[in-house]
Amino acid sequence: MNLGFYVHQTSDTKLNSDIYQLLNSAIEQNLVDDASLFYNQIDYNPNVKKFGSFNSTDLWSFNGTLVVTSLASLPLAESVVNRIKLIYMYCKDEIASGDLNELMRLLSIDPSMTVVAKSEEDKKEFYRVTKKEIPAIKNFNAEEILKV
């Protein structure tokens, strides 16, 4: 089983730190065969990583579970024709407050898309905005992501 995350940029944010920790832990615990991070923009990040980092143009070579954290990146991930189980992970901190384009993207997510919230708070915010129920990841770890 391969696990990948697709983020907009690799900067040192709370979300990226959590993702780095999750992917490192998944490798250390042998929960996955391979772990990857895909990005649109690369930036300095001091966190240690035990997984591969690739520009989003390399998504064509990935097979496995791919968690997308950016609404703007979702269409590119959806267009990849490999064997990918695609999951959109809603994290309210990744949504620009008051951005109408982001709101429209959020409302237009394909109903068949697997959508999860990073936390209970994010789950409530997603429901407030969309009136759609989604599951929340109780403990942000690889086991929880792979259960989805």
CATH level 2 (architecture), domain 2-147: 3-Layer(aba) Sandwich (3.40)
pTM assigned to the model: 0.92
Residues 26 and 6: their CA atoms lie apart, in Å, by 16
Backbone Cα Rg of the chain:
14
Query: 94-123 pLDDT, tens per residue?
Result: 776 667 777 888 888 888 899 999 999 999
- Rounded alpha-carbon distances, angstroms, from residue 31 to 1, 70, 116, 118, 132: 8, 25, 20, 20, 31
Tell me how many degrees the CA angle 12-100-7 measures, rounded to the nearest 5: 25
> pLDDT tens digits for 69-87?
998 899 999 988 788 999 9
Q: How far apart are the C-alpha atoms of 11 and 126, rounded to whole Å?
A: 24
Give the DSSP letter of residue 95.
Answer: S
Tell me the pLDDT tens digit for each residue of 4-28: 999 999 999 999 999 999 999 999 9
Residue recorded with tokens 């995350």: 5
Give me the chain's average pLDDT, please: 91
Between CA 70 and CA 89 the distance in angstroms is: 8
